[in-house]
């Protein structure tokens, strides 16, 4: 007997066999058991989630010789013939190969005639969105007033291309993408039933590669069985899919966490020697970063028997939450742009180097790189410092591309009587993240009897833990216990962030005035009859 592929052999025969589509199964089961049947059903969803399979099971439920039921017997002639694809009253049509209106009219000419032997004549039209406009118009009238003995089951991966006039005449069911855990569990069931040897670690790899499609998962499982000679092992599956071992991915993150560019490129060299799928490798990095973010928030999610427990715990401790979020965003963007790179390895290296370059803690490295790079010519104006506003020692910034380490606290600050004192104190606070942002967005109100009252800008997000960090940092600078009180009332003086924005506006206005009054710049504009590009003038800091 010839071999039957797993995707066909394990195709569900009943509603109970379907994986992950309980919301559709429940609705159809209740309708069948109550005999509340519609004349047209539309099943939508991505490839391989069970649209056509569900339509065939519904056909069996409608035409089972034991009666209309959500549990067709599966042994009568009608059920067996539908399973084998030779039931005379089930007409399966591939709309992609019958797009012409004449072919659709020929198909619908037989609608008025009663079924040959079944209870209902069922038209199963797959990829119905491929119909032409004329074909949809021909189908429309039949869908609106069909004979009682006809049922239409339509399936499509692109419901947006189906006219709303057709959608309004159908009951629409959206089949969701399957979760990797659901696909992995089904693959485990298949391998166990088939009596094949497998490594549990290989199943999540296949499930992720299936990308939400059970059919693709079973096809990949078939390929893995052939590749491994009847065994499904994780090393063989990684080789087949072009992925690398988890240790190598962890090594990449170790290098990122240490901000070690040489080690990072050395790890990329080791990975490239295995000729991996770099797009899949970026996906593994995303999953690992997501897992680290979860572990940081909920440490109990890291199981004690996890083989990577020690390394994951160390990474979650070594990397800040801000770094993990930044790396995730950089890798996510890099995955989208990987196909644009001249070479996949070059694109992969640039994604990792970009993450390293934008790492906030790598100020020294980033500064050295900037200093060694050639200057970029652009239209700039001389530095301007408004005389009416004192310049703080370190300008506060809402988004810092190169934050420097907080200066050491040489001696406690004993004076805090004015907004100027608060401005200077903020510059010395050893804070980062949300606590730093709260400090920069607070204006000074009062300081008396150990209570510091600040006015927080309206609409600014508050976090109790960050406020406690700010209170402790202020107490450290002042050398005395502090009770911090944040009020939503408007402070009499600007916050450090507001002050910097005001200074930046003044510098920008001065830069524009300088460029407009510059004789060389005026001559250039007159010679070329040109104007300054919006946003093209920048004040140098």
- Mean pLDDT value across the chain: 81
Residue 329 has pLDDT above 90, yes or no: yes
pLDDT mean over 392-410: 41
Identify whether 259 is part of a domain: yes
Residue 255 sits in the same domain as residue 269: yes
Q: Report pLDDT digits (tens) over 288-328.
A: 899 899 988 888 887 765 667 788 888 888 888 888 999 99
Q: Which structural domain, as residue segments, surrounds residue 212?
A: 180-241
**Looking at the DSSP assignment, which residues form a beta bridge with residue 197?**
231
pTM (two decimals): 0.57
pLDDT mean over 508-514: 79
Residue 143 sits in the same domain as residue 195: no
Identify whether 482 is part of a domain: yes
Proportion of the chain above pLDDT 70, given as a percent: 85
Residue closest to 92 by CA, chosen among 82, 102, 100, 101:
82
Q: What is the pLDDT, as a whole number, of residue 387?
A: 41
DSSP letter at 348 equals H
**What is the rounded CA–CA span in Å between residue 123 and residue 462?**
59
CA-to-CA separations, 54 to 78, 87, 447, in angstroms, rounded: 16, 16, 71
Identify whether 514 is part of a domain: yes
Residue 89 sits in the same domain as residue 233: no
Residue 165 sits in the same domain as residue 291: no
Q: What is the pLDDT, as a whole number, of residue 541?
A: 57
**Confidence category of residue 415, pLDDT binned at 50, 70, 90:** low
**What is the rounded CA–CA span in Å between residue 362 and residue 291?**
23
**Start-to-end Cα distance in the chain:** 80
Residue 472 sits in the same domain as residue 521: no
Q: How many distinct structural domains can be found in the chain?
A: 5
Secondary structure E strands in 461-509: 483-487
**Beta-strand relationship, 451-456 and 442-448:** antiparallel
Residues 87 and 78 sit within 8 Å (Cβ to Cβ):
yes
CATH code at position 432? 3.30.300.150
Asked which of 222-231, 244-253, 303-312, 417-426 is least confident by mean pLDDT, the reply is 303-312
Rg (CA), the chain: 33
Q: What is the pLDDT, as a whole number, of residue 305?
A: 58
**What is the rounded CA–CA span in Å between residue 156 and residue 78?**
26
Of 241, 259, 278, which residue is a domain's last?
241
Higher pLDDT, 485 or 402: 485
Phi first, then psi: give them for residue 442, nearest 5 degrees. Answer: -110, 140
CATH code at position 189? 1.10.8.60
- 176-194: b or e for each residue (b if 16 or more CB lie within 10 Å)? ebbebebbbebbeebbeee
Question: Hey, which of 181-185, 410-414, 434-438, 476-480 has the most confident mean pLDDT?
Answer: 181-185
**Looking at the DSSP assignment, which residues form a beta bridge with residue 150?**
121
**Beta-strand relationship, 90-94 and 121-126:** parallel
CATH code at position 325? 1.20.272.10
Residue 315 sits in the same domain as residue 447: no
Which ranges of 20-90 does DSSP label H, i.e. alpha helix?
A: 22-33, 51-63, 77-84
Identify whether 436 is part of a domain: yes
Of 327, 345, 363, which residue is a domain's last?
363
**What is the rounded CA–CA span in Å between residue 487 and residue 524?**
53
Q: Report pLDDT digits (tens) over 364-397.
A: 444 444 344 444 333 444 444 444 444 444 334 3
Residue 352 sits in the same domain as residue 292: yes
Identify whether 339 is part of a domain: yes
Identify whether 385 is part of a domain: no
Residue 211 sits in the same domain as residue 344: no
Residues, the chain? 541
Of 363, 384, 405, which residue is a domain's last?
363
Identify whether 373 is part of a domain: no
**Beta-strand relationship, 150-156 and 231-232:** unpaired
Identify whether 297 is part of a domain: yes
Residue 30 sits in the same domain as residue 130: yes
Q: Report pLDDT digits (tens) over 65-94.
A: 998 989 999 899 999 999 888 899 999 888
- Kindly tell me the sign of the dihedral angle through the C-alpha atoms of 189, 195, 196, 200: positive
Residue 407 has pLDDT above 50, yes or no: no
CATH code at position 104? 3.40.50.300
Q: How many CA atoms lie within 13 A of 89 on its CB side?
A: 21
**What is the rounded CA–CA span in Å between residue 154 and residue 271?**
46
Residue 15 sits in the same domain as residue 129: yes
**Looking at the DSSP assignment, which residues form a beta bridge with residue 122?**
90, 151
Residue 322 sits in the same domain as residue 428: no
Asked which of 21-30, 236-245, 399-408, 459-468 is least confident by mean pLDDT, the reply is 399-408
Residue 200 sits in the same domain as residue 128: no
């Amino acid at each position: 007997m010839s071999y039957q592929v797993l995707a066909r052999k394990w195709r569900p025969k009943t509603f109970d066999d379907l994986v992950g589509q309980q919301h559709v199964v429940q609705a159809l089961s209740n309708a069948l058991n109550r005999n509340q049947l519609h004349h047209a059903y539309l099943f939508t969803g991505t490839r391989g989630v069970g649209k056509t399979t569900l339509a065939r099971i519904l056909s069996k439920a409608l035409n089972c010789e034991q009666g209309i039921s959500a549990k067709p017997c599966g042994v009568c002639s009608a059920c067996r013939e539908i399973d084998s694809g030779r039931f005379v009253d089930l007409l399966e049509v591939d709309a992609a190969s019958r797009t012409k209106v004449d072919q659709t009219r020929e198909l619908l000419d037989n609608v008025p005639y009663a079924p040959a032997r079944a209870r209902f004549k069922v038209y199963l039209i797959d990829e119905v969105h491929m119909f032409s406009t004329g074909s949809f118009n021909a189908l429309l009238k039949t869908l609106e007033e069909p004979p009682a003995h006809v049922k239409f089951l339509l399936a499509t991966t692109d419901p947006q291309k189906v006219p709303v006039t057709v959608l309004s005449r159908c009951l629409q069911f959206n089949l969701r993408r399957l979760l990797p855990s659901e696909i992995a569990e089904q693959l485990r069931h298949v391998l166990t039933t088939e009596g094949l040897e497998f490594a549990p670690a290989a199943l999540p790899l296949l499930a992720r590669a299936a990308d939400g499609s059970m059919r693709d998962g079973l096809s990949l499982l078939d390929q893995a069985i052939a590749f491994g000679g009847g065994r499904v092992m994780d090393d063989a599956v990684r080789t087949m899919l072009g992925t690398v071992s988890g240790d190598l991915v962890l090594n990449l993150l170790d290098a990122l966490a240490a901000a070690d560019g040489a080690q990072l490129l050395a790890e990329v060299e080791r990975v490239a020697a295995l000729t991996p799928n770099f797009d899949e490798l970026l996906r593994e990095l995303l999953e690992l970063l997501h897992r680290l973010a979860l572990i940081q928030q909920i440490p109990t999610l890291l199981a004690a028997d996890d083989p990577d427990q020690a390394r994951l715990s160390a990474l979650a401790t070594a990397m800040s939450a801000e770094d993990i979020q930044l790396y995730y965003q950089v890798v996510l963007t890099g995955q989208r742009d990987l196909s644009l790179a001249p070479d996949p390895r070059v694109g992969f290296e640039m994604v990792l180097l970009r993450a390293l370059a934008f790492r906030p803690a790598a100020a020294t490295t980033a500064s050295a790189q900037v200093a060694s790079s050639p200057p970029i010519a652009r239209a700039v104006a001389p530095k301007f410092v408004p005389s009416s506003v004192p310049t703080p020692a370190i300008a506060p910034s809402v988004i810092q591309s190169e934050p420097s380490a907080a200066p050491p606290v040489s001696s406690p600050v004993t004076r805090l009587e004015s907004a100027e004192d608060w401005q200077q104190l903020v510059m010395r606070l050893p804070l980062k993240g949300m606590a730093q942002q709260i400090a920069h967005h607070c204006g000074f109100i009062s300081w008396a009897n150990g209570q510091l009252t600040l006015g927080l800008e309206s609409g600014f997000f508050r976090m109790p833990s960050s406020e406690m960090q700010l209170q402790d940092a202020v107490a450290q600078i002042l050398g005395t216990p502090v009770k911090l009180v944040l009020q939503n009332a408007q402070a009499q003086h600007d916050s450090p962030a507001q002050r910097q924005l005001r200074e930046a506006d003044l510098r920008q206005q001065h830069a524009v005035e300088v460029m407009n009054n510059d004789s060389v710049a005026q001559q250039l504009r007159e010679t070329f009859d040109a104007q300054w590009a919006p946003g093209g003038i920048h004040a140098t800091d």
